[in-house]
Amino acid sequence: MRIEITPLHPVFAGECSGIDTTRPLPHATVAAIEAAMDRHAVLVFRDQHLTDDQQLAFSQAFGELEFTHGTGISKPGEQRLHPAFADVSNLDKDNNILARDNRRRLYSLGNMLWHSDSSFKPVPAKYSILSGRVVATTGGETEFADMRAAYDALDDATKAEIEPLVCEHSLIYSREVMGFDDLTEAERATMHPVRQALVRTHPGSGRKSLYLASHIGTIIGWPIPEARAFIRDLTEHATQRRFVYAHHWRPFDLLMWDNRATMHRVRRYDGSQVRDMRRTTVAGTVPTAVQAAE
């Protein structure tokens, strides 16, 4: 099965045409999309008028889905969407726009920091799939950075230095940076730091990449301020414009990205406008590092 990919950026990201993601896909098509993901790391499918069920079905073609329950601050009963969805909107369960000082809104502003989805889980995510149901008319772009190209561009001394390093990731760290610290004990308990290799190798492409995220709080064995300063330098390197693709949303764009090879972030938008995006997340299958003994 051949699928048509138009490159969107010199080093990664492509627009995929000729596929209707609302319908069940043959194995060959799924395999072709996976091969394209190995190569491009971010794929854009235009004009995909999906229902939530159709998005679930499409996503499940690539593996088991992550459930959002038990991560972050979302609580059962307050959720607008099926528990396999991350609600990346500014709406409450009754579809009202969240107030400026709404706790969930302030928490979700952490998505404006560069990150890789679920890097705070012992087995982090494979793909994320984001459907733009109602998009912001100005701002609200999603930006992606190619962590393979960023790795390749490091000098040899830095590559050697970072090869054995292991980082600690937690939602607590990215929220702390934003000054969001009113987490309950129960929430903190779900955000126990996990370990991830700083350099990971992609199982499909064999390419190495920087495994960075604003969820990183330290490097094992390093003094914390030294670790944070170094991670900031690496993040700045990795998010230079030459490694970044900015996606300007159209309604019913479906985006799919490989969290093992990219970081992403959302840009600011006018919070008085509805932005309704729904994310499904395909679980990873292997850890990147040995966890600390309890």
Partner 1 sequence: MTIAIHPIHPGFVAEVSGIDLAHPLSRDAVAAIETGMDRYAVLVFHDQPLTDDQQMAFSRNFGELEATLAGEMTRPEERRMVNELGDISNIDHRNRIRARDDARRLYALGNRLWHTDASFRATGAIYSLLSARVIPSAGGNTEFADMRAAYDALADATKREIEDLICEHSIAFSRAELGFTDFAEAHRAKIAPVRHRLVSTHPVTGRKSLYLASHIGGIVGWPVPEARAFIRDLMEHATQPQFVHAHVWRVNDLVMWDNRTTMHRARRYDDMNQVRDMRRTTIRGTCTDAEQAVAA
For partner 1, the binding residues (CB under 8 A) are 100-101, 106-107, 109-110, 112-113, 175-180, 217-218, 223-230, 232-233, 267-268
**Nearest distance, CB of residue 228 and partner 1, angstroms:** 5
Q: Report in angstroms how near the CB of residue 247 gets to partner 1 at its nearest.
A: 17
* Rounded-to-integer distance, Cα 110 and Cα 183, Å: 14
Q: What angle do CA 44, 115, 30 make, to 5 degrees?
A: 35
In the DSSP assignment, the letter for residue 276 is E
Q: Closest distance between partner 1 and the C-beta of residue 285, in Å? A: 32
Partners of 127 in the β-ladder? 258
Q: How many CA atoms lie within 13 A of 98 on its CB side?
A: 23
Pick the closer one to partner 1 by CB: 24 or 223. 223
Q: Is 208 left (phi over 0), alpha (psi -120 to 50) or beta?
A: beta
Q: What is the arrangement of strands in the sheet containing 166-169, beginning at the earlier edge strand? A: 194-197, 166-169, 216-219
Q: Which is nearer to partner 1, 155 or 294 (CB)?
A: 155
Q: Of 55, 87, 91, 59, which Cα lies nearest the Cα of 73?
A: 87
Rank residues 84 and 149 by Cβ distance to partner 1 and give the closer one: 149
Nearer to partner 1, 29 or 108 (CB): 108
- Alpha-carbon gap, residue 247 to 37, rounded angstroms: 16
Do residues 117 and 128 touch, judged by C-beta distance below 8 A? yes
Residue placing its CB nearer to partner 1 in the complex, 35 or 97 = 97
Matching residue, tokens 């064995």: 221
Cβ 166 to partner 1, closest distance in Å?
17
Shortest Cβ 107–partner 1 spacing (Å): 8
Which lies closer to partner 1 via its Cβ, residue 43 or residue 171? 171
CB of 219 to partner 1, least distance (A): 11
Q: Kind and range of the H or E element at 236? A: helix 224-238
